[in-house]
Amino acid sequence: MTNVMTYNGYSARIEFDSEDEIFFGRIAGIDDVVGFHSDTVAGLKEAFREAVDDYLEACATAGKEPRKPYSGKMMFRVSPDVHRRAAIAAELSGKSLNQWAEEALARAAG
């Protein structure tokens, strides 16, 4: 089951709070914290659309770029075995490990 909503190029992961009996989410990929909630799925969809629209309008008014900037540099650790297998796969495909990893991440990220 996917707990992600998408609207106008923005996405949010959806969760359920059983104590308050509400669905809630937060817009991903932005510098600000913009959340929304509802006690129904239909209401949640509407709240999400309103949150995105309101956020974009606020950014336009402030002259601010709505999307969080990313440098393109990623630092992460993997097990030595994964590193070895990835390096071999990259070499066999005729690519650098960076090129191979970028393509693998792009496929995984959709």
**pLDDT tens figures, 76-105:** 999 999 999 999 999 999 999 999 999 999
pLDDT tens digits, 31-41: 999 999 999 99
Look at residues 35, 10, 16 and name the one whose alpha carbon lies nearest to residue 25: 35
pTM: 0.77
Domain ranges of the chain: 4-62, 80-109
pLDDT, position 36: 98
